[in-house]
Amino acid sequence: MLSDSKIAELTETANTIRQDIIEMLLAAGSGHTAGPLGMADIFTLLYFHTMQHEPQSPEWDGRDRLVLSNGHICPVQYATMARAGYFPVEELKTLRKFGSRLQGHPHREYLPGIEVSSGPLGSGLGQAVGMALGLRMNEGRQTDNYIYALLSDGEMDSGIIWESAMLAGREQLQNLIAIVDRNGIQIDGYTWDIMPLEPLKDKWEAFGWHVIEVDGHNFEALDAAIGEAQSVNNKPSILIAHTIPGKGVHEFERDYQWHGKPPSKEEADIALRELRTLGSKIECHDCD
């Protein structure tokens, strides 16, 4: 179980990453805001507590793999990786610039530590299934290395997601853990208006997956859910993580219009003031 001090540390790190995201998007003048802010807690837990990985040796054979299927939220992955030591934090402000390693969608040949290039929504789960199968084939057994596939709820409109889910269920890929950002928005509206997904839990169970619903902003609950997923035998697992798009900035939260636009200078200043105020409260609580 996570200690109180560890939760405080993770909370502070996630807040710093949210500030990085705002500054990156402002410098870029383009990009996605709501999803990266909403997934900062999950990325923080994975990179700073859950995953086996070596920032100084990103090709280490013993690493876990993270596959980001909804690649447009990559600012949160870049910021988290920089804070974890994969590359200098100063490089974050090159996001989407010509010649930058930090493309608008991740490119595995540009940046060490990125496992797959992503762009077409829905393709990431299939890539993760292939990796999980490959590890098992190479070792001749189920390995202790996990593949974490991060998906959006909107991309579940894509049929390829369900083809991949069927294969993973058939192959009983217990080293595959998917995490769905269930934030209820996509670029042109709310998921329940565009393509209702419920009963989402029942659908994944019908495809042979172990399903856990969890608060995507509660570190203790997320850690317990991942621990449960790791203990499951002969099934892939999926966490349906209920998150708040735009988390941490009141003006952005739960508004689908922030899915695909960056903040202006004025909006960024407001967001950073709010996040820094929250950060100072976290630090003070930790001091107590």
CATH code where residue 199 lies: 3.40.50.970
pLDDT (tens place) for every residue of the chain, 288 residues total: 899 999 999 999 999 999 999 999 999 999 999 999 999 999 999 999 999 999 999 999 999 999 999 999 999 999 999 999 999 999 999 999 999 999 999 999 999 999 999 988 999 999 999 999 999 888 655 568 999 999 999 999 999 999 999 999 999 999 999 999 999 999 999 999 999 999 999 999 999 999 999 999 999 999 999 999 999 999 999 999 999 999 999 999 999 999 999 999 999 999 999 999 988 887 655 555
28, amino acid identity: A
The pLDDT of residue 280 is 81
Q: Give how far the C-alpha of residue 10 lies from the chain's centroid of Cα atoms, to the nearest Å.
A: 15
With a CB cutoff of 8 Å and minimum separation 6, the contacts of 26 are: 262, 263, 265, 268
98, amino acid identity: F
Its domain, for residue 51, covers 4-287
Contact 40, 248 (CB under 8 A): yes
Domain count, the chain: 1
Beta bridge partners of 238: 178, 211
CB count within 10 Å of CB 88 equals: 8
